[in-house]
Structure 1
Amino acid sequence: MIPESVYRKYSQAMFDIAQESQLLDTMIADMKVVRDVLKDNEELRKFLGNPLITAKAKKETLKAIFDTSVSALVCQFLYVMVDRRREAAITEAIEGFIDLAREAQHIDVAKISLIKPLTAEEEKMLVTKLEQVTGNKIEPLYSIDPSIIGGVVIKIGDRVIDGSLKRQIHNMERALLQGGAVNEVTD
């Protein structure tokens, strides 16, 4: 685990630059592209983390991958991270930047666990309702979790809305046990 202080200053610097140049939305999109590529490509992460590979080779590889898909400013950020031997902190620095940008734009991340994917209309209705409840914009992150049996579990920051069938069964079981109810099976 990389200490927060190592990558936080890079996150803050990129955020400040994005704000000053009024490119926050563009920078968020570009940083998400880099984050997703790094997340999905273990070989690239290993390559960047290899201390035997020169900074020049790492920067050339990053340029080949990202030069046409993200802004020059984001590429420069990556090069600075490589030059300062902070390759292991790139993903965390990007996540830190995205968190700062979300906070500035009053966006909450809603981690939504479901048994099956929602339709586009259902997603829109759910996000609209969550925005009304929180008073902030919502960025939904959906995941499929068969263990909830049915319903939905939503986590926004420290808040949890557990409407899962699993939770309802657990609550019912607890109520029955606390009430001293006994189930009898008769012939």
Structure 2
Amino acid sequence: MIRAYYGGEEQAEIHGMAQMLKRSFSVSATAYSNLVKVPAQVHGIEGRYASALYSAAHKQKVLEQVEKDLQKIRGVFQQEPSFKEFVLNPTLKRTKKKVITLEIAKKLGLAQESSNFLALLAENGRLSKLEAVVSSFEHIMRAHRGELSIEVTSAEPLSKAHESAFNDALQKMVKSGQKLQVSYKVKPSIMGGLVVTIGDKYVDLSIASRVKKLKEVIVASI
């Protein structure tokens, strides 16, 4: 099945990732075949790494610790230019990156499971995907906790009354027990209306979007 979707190089990487995670989390072959199903769909290379990490960490009951460690390492990535430069440097050999990554993880006091995972990224030449992997992992963890993140973008700030009414309307649409995390942002370029982002999907109800569609219709009609 894997061959149907991935090329030889990616297939080898996925196999290596599986083996490394088994060693990192001391998961037996039988347990690995029954790893926990990921509660949210994430895409791309970063999604595959985040999904594999979630499954293994869940099985070993270290999800919260791994999540904290990933948040910590992302904080360093965002705040320390030298670390960011190291992570994104394509000229460093993978072996050297792996060694340095393990040293940094040790200094930060990361758990062994988290350290091994970061080393795996370095070993596979995927350390540059670090921030994206963390974002994918957080997306999975929100689903794990039954949280639904929604971002509402408007051309002008919404009043508290409008926000409250919108929150109430959204709450009625979600599954029972699901926790809503609604954030609001302002983007004048949408001109009016709303853009609602739910996970990796969005609904564009903006005036700018309508104007664009109108232009496309006019151009197609000429």
Contact 2:101 2:118 in 1 (8 A): no
Could you list the per-position Cα deviations for residues 126-146 of structure 1 after superposition, in whole angstroms to 9, with x for gaps in the alignment? Answer: 545423322232333443312
Deviations 1:22-58 (A, max 9, x none): 3434433443343354345554222123233723234
Aligned length: 163
Task: Provide the C-alpha distance between the structure 2 equivalents of 1:96 and 1:132, rounded to a whole number of angstroms.
Answer: 27
Query: How far apart in 2 are the matches of 1:17 and 1:42?
Result: 31
Match of 1:77 among 113, 117, 124: 117
Corresponding residue of 1:47: 86
Q: Which amino acid aligns with 1:98?
A: E
**Secondary structure of 1:98's aligned partner:** helix
Is 1:90 the counterpart of 2:137? The answer is no
Larger C-alpha radius of gyration, 1 or 2? Answer: 1
Which amino acid counterpart does residue 86 of structure 1 have in structure 2?
R
Select the residue among 94, 103, 109 that pairs with 1:60.
103
Q: Does the Cα contact within 8 Å between 1:113 and 1:153 map onto a contact in 2?
A: yes
* Structure 1 pair 34–118 and aligned structure 2 pair: CA distance change class (3 A): farther
* Pair 1:158 & 2:201 matched: yes
Aligned AA (2:134): I
CA distance in structure 2 between the aligned counterparts of 1:91 and 1:11, rounded to whole angstroms: 11
Residue aligning to 2:67: 28
**Which of 175, 189, 194 is equivalent to 1:147?**
189
Q: 1:73 to 1:58 in 2, by over 3 A?
A: closer
CA 1:148/1:24 → structure 2, altered by over 3 Å: closer, same or farther?
same
Render the CA deviation track for 1:108-155: whole Å, top value 9, x for unaligned. 321222434877x98677545423322232333443312345664322
- Gap change, CA 1:62 and 1:140, over 3 Å in 2: farther
Note the 1:90-129 alignment, pairs <5 A. Answer: 90-114=130-154, 115-116=156-157, 126-127=166-167, 129=169
**Alpha-carbon shift at residue 87 of structure 1 (Å):** 1.0
What CA distance in whole angstroms lies between the structure 1 residues aligned with 2:64 and 2:168? 21
Indicate conservation of the 8 Å contact 1:49/1:87, yes or no.
Answer: yes
CA 1:137–1:28 in structure 2 vs 1: closer, same or farther (change >3 Å)? farther
| 1:13 correspondence with 2:57 | no
RMSD of aligned alpha carbons? 3.8
The gaps in structure 2 that reach 5 residues or longer are 1-9, 11-42, 215-222
User: Which amino acid in the other structure matches residue 59 of structure 1?
Assistant: L
* Greater relative contact order, per chain length (Cα 8 Å cut-off, separation 6+): 1
Distance 2:115 2:168 in 1: 35
SS for the counterpart of 1:85 is coil
